[in-house]
């Protein structure tokens, strides 16, 4: 399903005079708005194919209807999001949930929506129907070489799908670990995992990267073999330049200082990028910025500083992706909220005067350093985001238009009420 550009333009027209007023005020308060707008327009956040349906929990799943039934419909949903916000210009596929049957037609469908293919994700955290050996006790770490071999081959298969679609990175998240003390020899598990990753790394095309995602716990509850950024960093530094550490915001122990982790990974040129979400207790996979927007802002402060220090392109040198799950909200509305929250945090971080902050730090002027950060965080940058959307042909208010145009109802009438997105 597509939304006509004239519908977006008409909707924007209703709000344009009100917007001009708020944007005029914001532009009078903020320096270099044009440079910020340019960056906001270029900044795209990839949508994971598994976030387009209702995720549910281990206790239940309450479908909202109209979920995409195929890879084609998932691409159509991301196309719809991108038409509304012009900030969701790529999709991250999950193999085997999204195996394309015809690469050429999938590629041309995606490009018709202005969508490219972000990192491809492998899956060795569950067994597939026709799978010979089980991942119950791990995959790349497994004590049995045959299981490791099967998991390695799967990852190489995922790379091949990605190459055919134009992806440039393989994202590896392992659930490998142990549930009880004594179950696992930690160093043996690490060495097995490293050997396995080395074989996958060797299969990477020259212009590809490998992202190693870490997670503190779950589904294993005693140890996780890639449990934190230090363990991921150990793997990526042993593997080589193409290997980088992927930060998923929900994969830390409570109160971890994620912004500090980000700063150090950037210092070492080992940050791959992000899986954005938010959490209160664990890997809650809630909407980005819904629980702790200040943390998201502080992370973007480190990102902007680090990217500028290393002369990196904000839009393309790191990988930006949402990794969320929706239990009680419309997945598309939730994704629009996440994209908005991420771009607000980014825009606020762009307001920070880096020289002033450095000088406050140099003088140990703690109060001034805090003032600089909090003044930026407390600035309402939403008029800038609206202006960026208008200039790029997106909706001034994506969620409102999504509701007014009854897009979910249209999706339900096209796909039905009892659809379940593949993989969920």
Nearer to Mn ion, 8 or 119 (CB): 119
Q: Report residue 105 as tokens.
A: 């037609």
Q: What minimum distance in Å lies between the beta carbon of 183 and Mn ion?
A: 24
Q: What minimum distance in Å lies between the beta carbon of 277 and Mn ion?
A: 8
DSSP letter (8 states) at residue 134: -
Nearer to Mn ion, 39 or 275 (CB): 275
Nearer to Mn ion, 283 or 333 (CB): 283
Residue 353 φ then ψ, to 5°: -85, 100
Nearer to Mn ion, 215 or 389 (CB): 215
Q: What minimum distance in Å lies between the beta carbon of 214 and Mn ion?
A: 10
Nearer to Mn ion, 94 or 275 (CB): 275
Give 317's contacts (C-beta < 8 A, 6+ positions apart): 307
State how beta strands 177-178 and 223-224 pair: antiparallel
Alpha carbon of residue 265 to chain centroid? 17
Q: What minimum distance in Å lies between the beta carbon of 285 and Mn ion?
A: 8
- In angstroms, the CA 62 to CA 194 distance is 39
SS3 of the chain: helix, strand, coil, percent, to 5 = 50, 10, 40
State how beta strands 209-213 and 47-48 pair: unpaired
State how beta strands 271-276 and 319-322 pair: parallel
Q: What minimum distance in Å lies between the beta carbon of 173 and Mn ion?
A: 6
Alpha carbon of residue 29 to chain centroid? 31
Residue 169 φ then ψ, to 5°: -155, 150
The CA radius of gyration of the chain, in Å to the nearest whole number, is 22
Q: What minimum distance in Å lies between the beta carbon of 179 and Mn ion?
A: 21
Q: What minimum distance in Å lies between the beta carbon of 256 and Mn ion?
A: 15
- In angstroms, the CA 122 to CA 154 distance is 7
Q: What minimum distance in Å lies between the beta carbon of 251 and Mn ion?
A: 7
Evaluate whether 72 touches 109 at the Cβ level (below 8 Å). Answer: yes
Nearer to Mn ion, 285 or 387 (CB): 285
Judged by DSSP in three states, 116 sits in strand
Nearer to Mn ion, 19 or 251 (CB): 251
User: For tokens 């080395």, what's the residue?
Assistant: 198
Evaluate whether 97 touches 110 at the Cβ level (below 8 Å). Answer: no
Q: What minimum distance in Å lies between the beta carbon of 208 and Mn ion?
A: 19
Nearer to Mn ion, 323 or 330 (CB): 323
Alpha carbon of residue 90 to chain centroid? 11
Nearer to Mn ion, 215 or 270 (CB): 215
Q: What minimum distance in Å lies between the beta carbon of 414 and Mn ion?
A: 30
State how beta strands 47-48 and 271-276 pair: unpaired
Q: Using CB under 5 A as the criterion, which residues of the chain lie in contact with Mn ion when the complex forms?
A: 248, 275, 323
- In angstroms, the CA 321 to CA 88 distance is 9
Mutual orientation of helices 71-85 and 103-112 as an angle, nearest 10°? 20
Nearer to Mn ion, 232 or 395 (CB): 232
Judged by DSSP in three states, 312 sits in coil
Evaluate whether 64 touches 331 at the Cβ level (below 8 Å). Answer: yes
Nearer to Mn ion, 73 or 213 (CB): 213
Q: What minimum distance in Å lies between the beta carbon of 248 and Mn ion?
A: 4
What kind and span of H or E run contains 387? helix 382-391
């Amino acid at each position: 399903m597509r939304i006509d550009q004239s519908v977006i333009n008409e909707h924007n027209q209703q709000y344009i005079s009100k917007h001009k007023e708020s944007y005029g005020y914001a532009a009078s308060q903020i320096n270099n708005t044009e440079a910020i707008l340019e960056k906001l327009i270029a900044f795209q956040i990839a949508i994971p194919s598994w976030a387009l349906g209702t995720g549910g929990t281990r206790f239940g799943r309450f479908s909202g209807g109209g979920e995409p039934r195929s890879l084609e419909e998932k691409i159509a949903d991301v196309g719809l999001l991108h038409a509304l916000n012009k900030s969701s210009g790529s999709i991250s596929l999950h193999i085997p949930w999204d195996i394309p049957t015809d690469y050429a037609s999938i590629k041309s469908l995606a490009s018709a929506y202005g969508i490219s293919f972000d990192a491809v994700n492998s899956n060795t955290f569950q067994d597939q129907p026709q799978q010979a050996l089980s991942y119950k006790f791990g995959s790349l770490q497994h004590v049995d070489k045959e299981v490791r071999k099967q998991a390695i081959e799967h990852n190489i298969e995922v790379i091949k799908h990605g190459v055919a679609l134009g992806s440039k990175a393989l994202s590896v998240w392992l659930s490998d670990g142990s549930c009880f003390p004594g179950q696992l020899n930690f160093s043996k598990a690490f060495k097995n995992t490293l050997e396995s990753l080395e074989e996958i790394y060797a299969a990477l095309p020259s212009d590809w990267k490998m992202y190693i995602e870490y997670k503190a716990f779950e589904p294993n509850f005693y140890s996780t073999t890639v449990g934190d950024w230090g363990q991921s960093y150990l793997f990526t530094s042993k593997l080589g330049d193409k290997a980088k550490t992927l930060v998923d915001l929900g994969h830390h122990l409570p109160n971890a200082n994620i912004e500090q982790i980000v700063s150090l990974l950037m210092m070492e040129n080992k940050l791959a990028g992000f899986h954005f979400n938010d959490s209160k207790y664990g890997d809650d996979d809630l909407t980005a910025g819904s629980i702790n927007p200040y943390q998201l802002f502080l992370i973007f402060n480190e990102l902007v500083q680090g990217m500028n220090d290393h002369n990196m392109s904000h839009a393309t040198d790191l990988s930006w992706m949402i990794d969320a799950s929706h239990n009680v909200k419309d997945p598309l509305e939730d994704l629009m909220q996440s994209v908005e929250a991420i771009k607000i945090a980014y825009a606020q971080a762009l307001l920070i005067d880096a020289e002033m902050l450095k000088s406050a730090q140099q003088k140990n002027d703690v109060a001034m350093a805090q003032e600089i950060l909090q003044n930026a965080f407390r600035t309402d940058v939403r008029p800038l985001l609206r202006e960026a959307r208008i200039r790029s042909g997106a909706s001034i208010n994506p969620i409102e238009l999504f509701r007014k145009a009854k897009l979910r109802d249209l999706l339900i009438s096209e796909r039905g009420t009892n659809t379940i997105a593949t993989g969920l």
